[in-house]
Amino acid sequence: MAFWESMRDFFTDKIEPVWGHAHKGPIYFRLGLASLPHDFVRGKKELEAAYHEDLALEKTGGGAPQASSQPAYVALTILESIDDSEFANQADKQRFTNQLFHAFNAVMFGIAVQTDNVVIAIKRISPPDGLLSCLAAYREMWEARKQQLSFATVSLTGTVLEALLLADLYHRKQIAKLPNGKDLLKVELGPLLEEAIQRSLFPTDSIRVAFQLVHIFHNRLHPGNEFHQTYRLVPRVAWTVSVFFELAVLEWSKTFSPVP
């Protein structure tokens, strides 16, 4: 973090007094990510500074990118959605946030995932009886993302996750009911994900956190939830959530045998 602090100070103390305002969005963004694990308030403040820098750049025109398409906006949207989510306590929320943003570098600058690799991963995870549903939902998710349909992308990402969880719990492990007696085939994503977590289906925290992020945004889709959000569900945010999901699927698939 010291490097980015020195970069910020160099621009504010040396460059700007002579040349005027310089765009410092990437610097504040890096400071925000570095601060979140130990100082959530400061981390969010740095990310807000990065977003305001991006807004100022957007207003200059001349082909400057939209602020809502930049990583700071995505990070703030995710933080706002986490704040609105139901965690057992503040410590759990902080732990989740730390784990999530530790992996954020993987997608913050638009790193894409090869669709063919995700299809192979899905085939490894799902037994034959659940595979068609998983692949059909993933194809629709991918098409919605290509068309920049934000709500459809997030909704279908949740559907793919539901299909994968059912494939493993119901078809592979032959679980028909949850501990509370509810039919596994009739419950929604939340109970399915909780059952998977309780059974330690996911070998790493990064997989669990990515899938929880999908669930958080899936719950956000009701229009009433979107009305009070400061940071809206724009295509770049939906894209990021779906890529987090794809990376988690790729990682999860490594625990299964290769497809013959």
Q: How many other CB atoms sit within 10 Å of the CB of residue 79? A: 21
Instruction: Indicate the pLDDT class of residue 104, thresholds 50, 70 and 90.
Output: low
Q: Each residue of 159-217: pLDDT tens digit?
A: 999 999 999 999 999 999 988 889 999 999 999 999 999 999 999 888 998 999 999 99
Rg over alpha carbons for the chain, rounded to the nearest Å, is 20
If pLDDT is split at 50, 70 and 90, which confidence band does 260 have? low
200 Rama sector, left if φ>0, alpha if ψ -120 to 50, beta otherwise: left
Q: How many CA atoms lie within 13 A of 153 on its CB side?
A: 23
pTM: 0.90
Question: For residue 237, which of 149, 163, 106, 131 has the smallest C-alpha distance?
Answer: 149
Helix (H, G, I), strand (E, B) or coil at 183: strand
Question: Whose structure tokens read 């694990």?
Answer: 37
* Bridge partners, 177 (sequence order): 183
